[in-house]
Structure 1
């Protein structure tokens, strides 16, 4: 608090803000247990910077504004999934609001997402190694055994490998022991962006001092990055189908499938989390739930228009901006495919190609949902979830909902593309 008090009594230059000191205190006790006096000082810093109180509206620009926003989420009573993962700080690369990113060549955005994905995974593994070797005192409670650390290193390196290949990295860090490979991955990740990556460091704000929460946060952040990418690819596929360009649409769907399938080891990595550790820190995450994920809802709603019951559920009420787009008539892959077939713009080999790619992506998403449900059941049993959700019963209810419902225009029984077969 001394550093922050000194900053407040000076020029309050954002460039001189004592990030390290504030972060150190949050790490020492966990966000849920930070001294209210420190939170009061942060609130004062916010008023000095914005003159308008809470920055949750997103109107205050800049790194410091975003950092204070996520540190004061519990203080303000607006703690949720996005603030828990500090997504404003990560600034997920997305072409959602950039018309150019819906074209056939958005390599820059794709590479930015891959770099962030690799850095998140590499950082998680670096923490595992540092803690196991006694080089880190952060989150000291319930350290895992070395065998678990080795397994995490192996799975993390596997999860990052597809993104590294897309980035054109020739040397895959797979030589030596899993720990050696993880260390090599971290060294490689440091070359992908400036080493002084302040937003990445500031985005680690656990609620407790349990070791496994670090892994939990980084894996969820990596999945948010992944689903932001999937949403962009699906949006571009919709635009291509609307413009009668089946090949680019099929390519986008194939790329989305490869992204989701290639990230499979992320769930295996998350499954190494110790259930007792999860139960320890999750009691302080009330108000934050993965069903509040904006990126996932963008993916789901771009596949097909959610039924009214789904749209009225707590899951969509938690993402009002996505819900508003759906209600405004957002185009979907499902709709664009059916329309193109009905109008004769998509037929023959082109139609079959797009349908196959839709089915492949749907199958990958089904696998993701089932794995998500299985891991959540292992960690939670059939208990209620956080964020005022229904926990694993909720996941079970939505895991088999068809991804697409495009009907083959030829006579015959209905078959949901990618859905469960009779």
Structure 2
């Protein structure tokens, strides 16, 4: 009986092994994957730097493999963070928490009952994911995101507002906005300047701090003006209550673990307790809070991430939330709405599995996913079924560089 249990435990352990684990055991296969990665990310390095980048890549690939083997709902993968130094990673953050404590507790004053689910993306009231680039301007994106749905509630128009105005103007004469900031300072700036904020179309984002041009750009706050901000009590319940009426500017701690997120519902246990990134909460279900990031659509779940509900930590996600106070002007915003994201997460809380085409063969590795298929050696050597690499076409030939092994599966010869 004991032998049977040991066999079962070993089998379960092997079944949970991530596809990367087997590759990382082989220096040759790891180098091959690194080459595929550089090709996908359009990276080229001199020889001395390439050795350093390879070590970073291998370390992050090991992190991804371990994270996927933990068996939670979240899925992790390689992305543009996988070959960056720690200093380079910091440039994609930008929340300056110095002098700011978590929000104070407030006595609930509203009798409004939040619905069980509210996904502003699915109502077409969230703009497309943007990319802050290597400028620590996340604080501007969090603030602008917290404004979008609330301005629509007053005007009936979805507007893409200008992060660049906040980046150029909020700390003008004090410091470079790419070195960090605080979202609520954006709302204070607007209040001091007549409640204004330009549109992205009129004040384009440049990924660098420039001179303030706010007074020379058209004011896109036509139907309402920003008159300060409201802080949300630092509890999940208070955040859900506020999120039911509109998007929120929120802040949390980004970890190396979080940076490699691909999709699913995340529970990060690696936080140390200091917030460093501002984003926008744009909805919730009974299982997750949906957050819009500012690292472009290739990161995460098309630029979005799902944080677990009922998880006390969440790296401080509920402790620093706010949203702008708006005062109506009585004027109509007659400019057509800006384009909304077409991202529509499932409202039934399910994380749908990747399709598994071609039932006539098997994946060599467990835990294959379609997003691994962009890496040639994973697709052809490890995830043939998932990546539809079992057959070479109607004539039955294997793909170039592979042969048909004794089990009928096309692989590189050394893998048979």
TM-score range, shorter chain: under 0.3
TM-score calculated relative to the size of structure 1? 0.21
TM-score calculated relative to the size of structure 2? 0.21
Larger Cα-atom Rg: 2
